[in-house]
Amino acid sequence: MKVTLIVALLCLGLTNSFAQSQEECTTKLSIFHEYVKAKNFDAAYEPWMAVRKACPKFNKAIIIDGNKILDHKIEKSAGAEKKAFIEDQMKLWDEELTNFPSRTTQGEVLVQKAQLMYDNKAVLGLSDLDVYNAFDKAYTTDKDNFKSPKGLYTYFSLMVDLYDAKEKSAQDLFNKYDDVVERVDAEVANYSEDLNKLIAKEEAGTALTSKELQYKKMYSSYLDAYDKIGGSINGKLGERANCENLIPLYEKDFEANKTNAVWLQRAAGKMSEKECTSDPLFFKLVNAYHDLKPSANSAYYLGILKDKENKSSEALKYYEQALSLETDSYKKAKLYSKIGDKLKKQHSYSKARSYYRESLSLNPSNGRPHLQIASMYAASANDCGDTNFNKRAVFWLAADEASKAGRVDPTLKSHASQSATSYRAKAPQKSDIFSEGNAGQTIKIGCWIGSSVTVPNL
């Protein structure tokens, strides 16, 4: 009985102590949260630290408000104090992964740490190589969750700086470029797929819910960020990846890699992208790749070779083969668009439009095919109208197509708007419509366009 009584008293004491601790944490959490809302981060620091230590899993506000408090402390401090706050910020992210695992991933935490290191290299006494290795750890440890557009750019930017400093080789540089671009493409594909579902719902005439509108805004924001980062990555690479650098490198490594499908695909892809396709090496790469692993990419590159020989019909057969081999809808949409581009250059506008429309059916959130169709309409105005008024009316069709690009694709909103405005300026104006007396009438546009447009009412 004595033992039972002692155990009961101990349990009661522990329960009371726990309840008291919980109550104190609740009180102090309320205090620091109010201070954070008022942006009084210095006052919030002490009660926040008390809750963080006593009740680390108590509430996610420990992490959310803690990030804001430490951001402020890092910004307002210097020297050793600043370094200590930076290190504590990294510790807090580790605590988030441990105490609130549903809120983050290892990859996200590692990228956040690497970016913080990069932003504070001087304070932490780190070299470019130190920071690059931190990003590389994130990439190799949890690549699928390395999603930060800023982080991806910084990662590649450091590689370029290390290459320029002769600390990394050209092969390292081009390999990392391919790694980062593939990661960006994967995220663009994911967000495009999500956005496409919402666009399809809107196009079907169903209004989006408030939550869906928020998601649409978020998906569009990420796509816009990845589009800008993609341009910055190519800009950073610049002339380092020109034919003069690529050809000797790939020629030197060809024998060692002629049975390496990934190496062959990347080498052929880079030479195609940089328009080094006239060199005999491109022929060697493409044929070796196609013999080793026939794929959508290898068939597409063979089509390029046939185009170089001015054998357009044979090239188209290979392009069609590429489409039949591709199973990923996002990649297939890109292929349709690329083939459309080639046909457009050959002035095969009707065929090109068909390929662009197939691309749009697979990836409607990419507005670029709309802009390409609009430019073909504009280029055909003189050929597809039977009167001066009707020729200029083709520009209404071009403007409408350009406007679609801006509606579906956040990355093209400004460019699409400018294009549509430019086309409308070339279309008949109010005075022309008044003189013609055809307001509200439908005009049939002939030749390859085969469409109609309604004259605006005055």
- What φ, ψ does residue 443 adopt, rounded to 5°? -105, 130
Task: Of 401, 379, 386, 400, give the one whose Cα is nearest residue 445.
Answer: 386
Indicate the pLDDT class of residue 2, thresholds 50, 70 and 90.
low
> What distance separates the 2 farthest-apart alpha carbons in the chain?
109
Q: Alpha-carbon distance 167 to 184, whole Å?
A: 25
Q: Let me know the angle formed at the C-alpha of 378 by 374 and 384, rounded to the nearest 5 degrees.
A: 115
Q: Which two tokens stand for residue 266?
A: 């990347």
- For CA atoms 294, 297, 303, 307, the dihedral sign is negative
| 385-408: average pLDDT | 94
Task: Of 283, 291, 178, give the one whose Cα is nearest residue 241.
Answer: 178
Q: Which two tokens stand for residue 317?
A: 């057969």
Indicate the pLDDT class of residue 422, thresholds 50, 70 and 90.
very high
Can you list the alpha helix ranges (DSSP code H) found in 56-105?
A: 61-76, 79-99
Mean per-residue pLDDT of the chain? 92
Task: Of 444, 430, 431, 426, give the one whose Cα is nearest residue 379.
Answer: 426
Provide the angle, in degrees to the nearest 10, between the axes of the packed helices 106-119 and 79-99: 170
Q: Are strands 451-454 and 442-445 parallel, antiparallel or unpaired?
A: antiparallel
Q: Alpha-carbon distance 281 to 266, whole Å?
A: 13
Indicate the range of 16-25, 294-303, 376-385 predicted with least confidence: 16-25
Q: Is the pLDDT of residue 132 over 60?
A: yes
| 232-250: average pLDDT | 92
For position 185, what pLDDT does the model report? 93
- What φ, ψ does residue 98 adopt, rounded to 5°? -80, -45
Task: Of 66, 107, 60, give the one whose Cα is nearest residue 88.
Answer: 66
> In this predicted model, what pLDDT tens digit does every residue of 281-294 receive, in sequence order?
999 999 999 999 88
Indicate the pLDDT class of residue 13, thresholds 50, 70 and 90.
very low
Indicate the pLDDT class of residue 3, thresholds 50, 70 and 90.
low
Q: Is the pLDDT of residue 14 over 90?
A: no
Can you list the alpha helix ranges (DSSP code H) found in 238-384?
A: 243-257, 261-273, 280-292, 296-308, 312-325, 329-345, 349-362, 368-379
Q: Is the pLDDT of residue 200 over 70?
A: yes
Indicate the pLDDT class of residue 218, thresholds 50, 70 and 90.
very high
For position 393, what pLDDT does the model report? 95
Indicate the pLDDT class of residue 11, thresholds 50, 70 and 90.
very low
| 335-349: average pLDDT | 95
Q: Is the pLDDT of residue 9 over 80?
A: no
For position 10, what pLDDT does the model report? 42
Q: Is the pLDDT of residue 4 over 90?
A: no
| 258-268: average pLDDT | 93
Q: Which two tokens stand for residue 387?
A: 């009167």
For position 18, what pLDDT does the model report? 46
Q: Is the pLDDT of residue 21 over 80?
A: no
Query: Which residues contact residue 395 at a Cβ distance below 8 angstroms, ignoring those fewer than 6 apart?
Result: 377, 378, 381, 423, 424, 426, 427
For position 19, what pLDDT does the model report? 56
Q: Is the pTM of this model over 0.75?
A: yes
Q: Within 13 Å of residue 342, how many CA atoms lie on the same side as its CB?
A: 21
> In this predicted model, what pLDDT tens digit does every residue of 109-128 receive, in sequence order?
999 999 999 999 999 999 99
> In this predicted model, what pLDDT tens digit does every residue of 63-98 receive, in sequence order?
999 999 999 999 999 999 999 999 999 999 999 999
Q: Is the pLDDT of residue 8 over 50?
A: no
| 244-262: average pLDDT | 93
Burial track 351-384 (b if 16+ CB lie within 10 A, e otherwise): bbbebbebbbebbbbbbbbbbbbbbbbbebbeeb
Q: Is the pLDDT of residue 424 over 70?
A: yes
| 270-286: average pLDDT | 93
Q: Where are the beta strands (DSSP E) in 144-226?
A: none
For position 203, what pLDDT does the model report? 85
- What φ, ψ does residue 349 adopt, rounded to 5°? -65, -40
Contact 394, 452 (CB under 8 A): no
